[in-house]
């Protein structure tokens, strides 16, 4: 039995599958957001969020679509970050979901910030709390 933790590439593949099942027009818009999968949040993110290494499983960095204006000057690409080690830590603590399910949940949650979705919107796409 293979006991190897999923690689960064495998976590990204799970996230990409979660994006593929988003309903249109969200799927197309999600493909325009940068997806970054790293082991831990960069130090500057941890400092800005006042968080520890394992506190964040994901992060949306950008301006939500509901707040964007054609007059805005882009400050950089909207980015969804996924943090592999904290995701694996939460997965081990939970013990009742697969890594793919947890990655899908974190991915949808972070894109929800990008889309400006309400909790009801998120629940319709990702019935995580049922």
Domain boundaries, the chain: 8-63+77-125
* CATH class of the region 8-63+77-125: alpha beta
- pLDDT band for position 67 (cuts 50, 70, 90): confident
Q: Which residues contact 73 (CB under 8 A, 6 or more apart)?
A: none
Residues 86-96 have pLDDT tens digits of 999 999 999 89
The whole model's pTM is what?
0.88
Mind giving me the DSSP string for 34-87? EEEEESS--HHHHHHHT--TTT-SEEEES--GGG--TTPPP-S--EEEEEHHHH
Plot region of 34 (φ>0 → left; ψ -120 to 50 → alpha; else → beta): beta
């Amino acid at each position: 039995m293979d006991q190897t933790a999923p690689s960064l590439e495998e976590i990204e593949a799970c996230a990409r599958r979660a994006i593929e099942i988003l309903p249109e027009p969200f799927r197309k818009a999600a493909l325009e957001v940068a997806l970054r999968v790293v082991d831990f949040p960069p130090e500057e993110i941890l400092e800005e969020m006042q968080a520890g290494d394992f506190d964040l499983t994901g992060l949306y960095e950008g301006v939500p679509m509901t707040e964007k204006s054609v007059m805005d000057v882009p400050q950089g690409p909207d980015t969804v970050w996924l943090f592999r080690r904290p995701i694996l830590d939460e997965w081990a603590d939970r013990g009742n979901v697969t890594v793919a399910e947890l990655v899908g949940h974190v991915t949808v949650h972070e894109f929800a910030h990008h889309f400006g979705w309400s909790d009801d919107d998120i629940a319709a796409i990702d019935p995580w709390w049922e």
